[in-house]
Amino acid sequence: TQAPVLAIDGPGGAGKGTISRLVAERLGWHLLDSGALYRLTALAAGKHGVSLEDEARLAEVARGLDVVFVAEADSTRVLLEGDDATTTIRTEQVGDAASRVAALPAVREALLSRQRDFRKPPGLVADGRDMGTVVFIDAPLKIFLTASAEERAHRRQRQLREAGVDASLSSLLKEIQARDARDMQRSVAPLKPADDAITLDTTRLTIPEVVDRLTELLTQRG
């Protein structure tokens, strides 16, 4: 039998990244940040002069991604072709390009087996948009993590402020809504809760509250 998977899907900015990392740490499970693979595909395409419109070549880039994830104390370092890409892949520009390449079926197909390779004992926490609906259909626990767009814009603003960047709430809200729309309306693997997913609205919850809730649910299922 295969190692268990906790699938965590939801819109950008709902806290999936932080929550997934903390839950994986608490359980001693592996972690898949699937969004990073789309971001890395977009970044690698830029590096090699591949157009974001060229689906066939983008799929080749995705299949050939030379990436290493290095787990550190409370983050993961990402190496693309040996170069540190940890902060570069987090920029708005790369995020935007990632959501464009993620709409291409050949790219999604190319990344499937790479994502499934992360599933190893004792278990995997998989963070993304289609973990429960496509990549790990048989995951024993699927969570759809949401928060209102306004709350997500606030969280993003706080994050940026900590990094010394000023951004207006209204422009952040607009970006979030545009990204949501693109993720939900695409024809392949659109963002939506799996039929058997549990939806958790984190708008009024703290990070430790969400982590507790998820480990609790996992114990009930296990």
Return the DSSP state at 143.
E
Q: Are 175 and 92 in contact (CB under 8 A)?
A: yes
CA–CA separation, 14 and 203 (whole Å): 8
How is residue 100 written in tokens? 């464009």
Binding site for ligand C5P (CB under 6 A): 12, 34-35, 38-39, 95, 98-99, 102, 128-130, 179, 183
Smallest distance from ligand C5P to CB 120, Å: 19
11 assigned ligand-binding residue: yes
Nearer to ligand C5P, 80 or 219 (CB): 80
CB of 130 to ligand C5P, least distance (A): 5
- Residue 132 annotated as part of some ligand binding site: no
3-class state of residue 98 by DSSP: helix
Long-range contacts of the stretch 51-60 (C-beta < 8 A, 24+)? 52/97, 52/100, 52/101, 55/104, 55/105, 55/106, 55/107, 56/106, 58/101, 58/104, 58/106, 58/107, 59/104, 59/106, 59/107, 59/109, 59/110, 60/110
Q: In the structure encoding, which two tokens stand for residue 99, read together? A: 């959501």
Q: Which residues contact 166 (CB under 8 A, 6 or more apart)?
A: 160
Residue 164 assigned to a binding site: no
Annotated ligand binding at 14? The verdict is yes
Nearer to ligand C5P, 15 or 35 (CB): 35
**Does 102 count as an annotated binding residue?**
no
CB of 220 to ligand C5P, least distance (A): 25
| Least gap, CB of 219 to ligand C5P (angstroms) | 26
**Closest to ligand C5P by CB, 65 or 219:** 65
CB of 69 to ligand C5P, least distance (A): 13
- Our CB check for ligand C5P shows the closer of 23 and 130 to be 130
Nearer to ligand C5P, 1 or 32 (CB): 32
35 in a known ligand binding site: no
Binding-site residues from annotation for ATP: 10-18
As annotated, the binding site includes 10-18
